[in-house]
Each structure stands twice: as structure tokens, then as C-alpha cells.
Chain A
Amino acid sequence: MSNTMLEVRELTTKYITRFREDVYAVDHVSLKVEEGKTLGIAGESGCGKSTLALSLMGYYFPPLHYTSGEIIIDGHNITGMDPDVVRKMILGAEIAYIPQAAMNALNPTQKIIHFIEDVIQEHDLYVTKKDIYERARILFETLGLPAEVLQKYPVELSGGMKQRTVIAVSVLLLPKVLIADEPSSALDVTSQKMVIKMLRQLMETGLISSMIFITHELPLLYNVTDDIMVMYAGQIVEKGTAQETVFDPLHPYSKGLMGSIIVPEKGLRDVKLAAIPGVPPNLKNPPAGCRFAPRCKYVREECTLHSIPMHEAAGRRAYRCIIPEKELREIYAKEAYRNAR
């Protein structure tokens, strides 16, 4: 039997802007992360991936506000917990978050070891500097990072090394869930690979129990995750295994997304890239009904009438579209046939 490390039920959160406008960035999102598994979140920039990450940690500071839904971390319901308590008790210890561009946020005038002291002392005031150093050294050794890095300033490290250092530090308190938000986007391919290898190592050595991996780079997501959720305009539009979502997408948006994948592999030059026309909606004023309807090739009148729930599909899959699975498959099959001729 598998252990659920994180469960989120129908979570809805919003930003309230300076002009008192609501931005519905996370809308009725449900998800589960099981022990030993990596869940991927895909979607174009602005769809709410980073906001979802903050929301599911219970990390609500203005302008972000909780509206409804539940968050259960390793069996403990943290819904409604005071954000300051979340910061002290949950962040880092239960869920660790590596924000986008985290490596650039390192204090340039602080040695890595002093940064680590701050992180640990936030949670445990009484631990000695010597113990902290020992813990950090052992962690770095386990992960194959040179211990000398601890005595260095951020500017003395390469981009890839900085990012791996940030990741190592984020798991010092052995979190149940690690959320990596675009952890390798700014790196060249070789450093990216080293970062991914290290994330895998974290899981294999039990330093973390599960992971949420966020990126818009689909080939990367496919290689790193067990399951994938596709997000569009604040909502999850499809859930399934990585294999299913990439090779057999159901929702028209996922279908478009997977058709835009570019990899240096044989045959790629012969397929026409699928470009999705139009732009995502403004989340201050999302369309009624299906949020993807204005850009959807298969839109029908019913699509715009009322909001669309998730529909179950074969296996453990689900997608948010009124067109039945069988009919969608027929549509896609016909299209593929036409494109092939």
C-alpha cells in the first residue's frame, strides 16, 4: 500500500490586486502525491503553476488569499493554519520549495555555510554551528558536491553549482515533499542534466519522500516525472501518467501542447508543429464555461454555458472537457490521418 505524502482537495486561491481586482490563479485544484513518486505540472507561463506551489504549502501572504479547499500533508490537515506557523513548522521541514531563479536569490555577501546556518536555526535555535557544519558536510558528500563549496560565496560558484547547492540546502530538514519550480530553466543542457540527476538522487537516498516538478519544457517533464497534470488558466485540464499525457493526450489543450514538442530525434523534421492560436485568458476575468473554449478548434455551444468538471477516463486518468473520450479519440484519429496524407 502506498502512502500519500500530499493531498490537495478542490483548492481555490486568488490574488487581490492593489486595485481590489480578483485574479483567480488557482481554481478547484485537486491532486495527490504518493511516496516515492514525482508529479509534474505543465502549462504555459502565467497559467498559475507557481501560485499553485505557494497555495498548496498553505503559504498565504497578501496579495495571495485562500478561498476554499483542503491541504493534507502526510496525514495532517494544515488547512487554515496561520501563515507564520506555516513558515516555521511546514516550510522546509514538511514541504520544501525551490522557487524559480532561486540561485539568483542567494545573498552575495554571505558564505554558503552561513546561509545554511540561517536555514537550520530558523527551525532549531539550539543546534550548534559545529553540528550544522557536520550535517551540511555529510549531506554535500552524499550528493557528490565538494565540501569546499560551503566556505564559498555565491559569485565563486558556476550557475549549475549554485543551483545544486540551493537544492541541497532545501532538503536539509528532510521534507516529505520537494517542489522544484523550473529548477533548470536558466542552465545549459549539461548543468541541467546534473541538476536532474541530483533530484533523482534525493529521492533514491530517501532525503525526500516525493516531488512536484514544475516546468513548461515537456521533454524534460516527461523524463523526470511519474504522473503529469496539465494546467491551463488556473485549472487542471488533464491528469495521467507521464506516458499517457505525452503520447496520448485527451484534452484539446494538452493535445496542442504535446504537438509543440521539439526534440533532436529522427522524424521530428517531418511533423508539423502544432501552434495553438490565440493567447490564454486574463485571469481577472476568465471566460464562463471552459476556459480554453475561445482557443479550441472543437468548441461547441455547450462549452461556454457553465463550468466543466473533470471527467474520468480509462485507467486513473481525468480531463476537463465535455467531449466524451471515445469521440475525442475519433476526432484525433481522423486528424492524424488527414495530416499524414
Chain B
Amino acid sequence: MPVEKELYLSASGLTKVFGFGRQKTVAVDHVDLNLYEGEVISIVGESGSGKTTLAKMLLGLISTTEGDIYFQGKKRDISTHRKKKEYWKNIQAIFQDPFSSYNIFNKIDTVLLDCIHMRGGRKFPYAKKVELMTEACSFVNLKFEELTNKYPFELSGGQMQRLMIARIFLLKPKILLADEPTSMIDACSRATILDMLMQLRKEIGMTIIFITHDIGLAYYVSDSVYIMEHGKFVESGSADDVILRPKEPYTKRLLNDVPKIYEEWDLSTV
């Protein structure tokens, strides 16, 4: 890890327990994580392994049961509404199901205007706001003129996901948490979405936490990879180390179970 890079976000002993007694689920179990400026890290795990719960804790959307989160060297404080809003200027998210992340009664202009307002542009003249929104839409290959007055549910899944990226383009957060951003769209459109995310990363110098169940995708996008199983990180390291030279049996199994194109897919192991 280059030493001069700033440690943006870190977590130690982060734990989330849902329910109690016999209903108790330890969704995230004493997880440590370090995120440096400009990095892309991936968190890979099967469904139910605790990825989304971890993401929600990092975002401050749900409380933590145990453990600490540090942001830019200081213990994160989101105890008041104002502090939370301040934190969310720095860290933003894209979720798997784009339809779940909007108020469906807000028109698309409102969704984008909110982003401009969050960045302190409330007092901009309207023409300036339109210019910003148009720029954001064209970045993701959408036409702003065609979107005005539409509701999010009138868009296709792929268009919605691109609108989410347009939001991020306007918000320019330091950290983007992308939770399975391509798992609802088909393999063919996936490349387009990934391209846009990586372009955006270059453009605004974003640091990315990429959450996925797709180990190939993780390998493609990230500098380092964390493998999650039952709420715990079982292996982590540089993408090349973890994917090409896995040590843990669990990582090996995940890799083994994915169909590949150069290597034989061994069906005898299940």
C-alpha cells in the first residue's frame, strides 16, 4: 500500500447482530477494513453473507452492534441529522435494485435537482441547474430532455442504473459504495455500466467499494479483494493474489464453481 495515500475509511471489529435469542443472526462478524484514497476494493460473497448489511453500516443507514468506523482518521460522528448530511456529502451509494433507492413519487428532475442542492447549488439560476443536469445525463448516455417530467419507474432497469450514476456524477462523493450495481441487468449491458463507473472514477478521483457476488467482476474492477463468508472476511489481499493464488478453501471453492472460458469447468466437485 503506498504510504502517502490517505486512509479514508476504516472499520475495526465491525459487527451487526439482528434479533436475539433463537432468532439471532450475526450478519456481520468482527470485520476489519481499510480503504485508501483512490483505491477500488471489492467485497465478494454469496447471498446472505452480510455484504449489504456491512454497506449499510458504513453508510450510516443502520446502527452498528459493535466496532468502530473511522473517517479520514477520526472516529465517525453521525449523531445528529446535520452531521449525517455532512457525512453523506463524502460517501454515497448505488444499490442493486435501483427502483428501491428512490422515492417513486419524485420525478427524475427532482431526483437530479436534489443532488445539485446537496452540493450547495440551491441558489444557482435555473439555467445553470439544467446545464448541470444535462451534462450529468449525457455522461451516462441519457438525454435530459427526454427524462424531464418522467418518473423513475418509467425507465428500464439499465436506464435507471445509469441515472444512479448520473446522480453520483453530480454529487461527486469521495467514496462510492456500489452494492451489486450490475446484478439486475444482463451480462451485455454490464460492460457499459462498469465503463461508466470507471470513467467517473477517473474524472472525479473517486474511491470505490464494490460489492458483488461475482468473483470475476471483482477481479476485473478492483485493486484489492475481500472474500466474505457468513459475516466474516476469510481472505483478503491484492486482486491478483486472491484470485490467481487463493489460499483459503472457501475462496478456492468460489473460484472453482464459476464457469470460465480458458480453464476446464470441473463439474465433479459438486
- Residue ranges of A at the interface with B (Cβ–Cβ < 8 Å): 43-45, 188-190, 192-194, 196-197, 200, 216-220, 222-223, 246, 257, 259-266, 268-269, 273-279
Cα A257 to Cα B186 with chains together (Å): 11
Is the beta-carbon distance between B259 and A262 smaller than 8 angstroms?
no
Cα A200 to Cα B259 with chains together (Å): 15
What are 13 sample pairs from A and B whose C-beta atoms fall under 8 A apart? Answer: A44-B187, A190-B253, A190-B270, A196-B267, A216-B188, A222-B261, A223-B259, A260-B188, A263-B259, A265-B260, A265-B261, A266-B244, A273-B191
B239 CB within 8 Å of chain A = yes
Cα A259 to Cα B187 with chains together (Å): 11
| B219 CB contacts on chain A under 8 angstroms | 264, 268-269
Count, chain B residues at interface, CB 8 A: 40
| A260 CB contacts on chain B under 8 angstroms | 187-188, 190-191
Query: Which A residue sits closest to B246, measured CB to CB?
Result: A264
B265 CB within 8 Å of chain A = yes
> Chain A's nearest CB lies how many Å from the CB of B114?
26
B interface, by DSSP: helix, strand, loop or mixed?
A: helix
Q: Which of B76-84, B103-111, B209-217 forms contacts with chain A?
A: B209-217
Q: With A190-B253, A264-B215, A279-B158 as given contacts, are A219 and B260 in contact (CB-CB < 8 Å)? A: yes
Q: With A200-B267, A219-B261 as given contacts, are A269 and B220 in contact (CB-CB < 8 Å)? A: yes
User: Of A196, A219, A222, A264, which one neighbours B243 at CB under 8 angstroms?
Assistant: A264
How many A-B pairs with Cβ below 8 Å? 110
- Residue ranges of B at the interface with A (Cβ–Cβ < 8 Å): 46-47, 141, 158, 185-192, 194-195, 213-220, 239-240, 243-244, 253-255, 257-263, 265, 267, 269-270
| A216 CB contacts on chain B under 8 angstroms | 186-188
User: Of B186, B220, B243, B267, which one neighbours A45 at CB under 8 angstroms?
Assistant: B186
Cα A257 to Cα B188 with chains together (Å): 6
Is the beta-carbon distance between B267 and A217 smaller than 8 angstroms?
no
Query: Which B residue sits closest to A262, measured CB to CB?
Result: B216
Is the beta-carbon distance between A265 and B262 smaller than 8 angstroms?
yes
| A43 CB contacts on chain B under 8 angstroms | 188
Is the beta-carbon distance between A190 and B262 smaller than 8 angstroms?
no
Is the beta-carbon distance between A273 and B195 smaller than 8 angstroms?
yes
| B217 CB contacts on chain A under 8 angstroms | 262
The 9 closest A-B pairs by CB, nearest first: A260-B191, A44-B188, A189-B257, A275-B191, A273-B191, A216-B186, A275-B192, A264-B216, A223-B259
| A219 CB contacts on chain B under 8 angstroms | 216, 258-261
Cα A222 to Cα B260 with chains together (Å): 9
Is the beta-carbon distance between B261 and A277 smaller than 8 angstroms?
no
Cα A194 to Cα B259 with chains together (Å): 12
| B254 CB contacts on chain A under 8 angstroms | 189
Highest count of chain A CB atoms <10 Å: which of B141, B195, B259: B259
> Chain B's nearest CB lies how many Å from the CB of A260?
4
Is the beta-carbon distance between A268 and B220 smaller than 8 angstroms?
yes
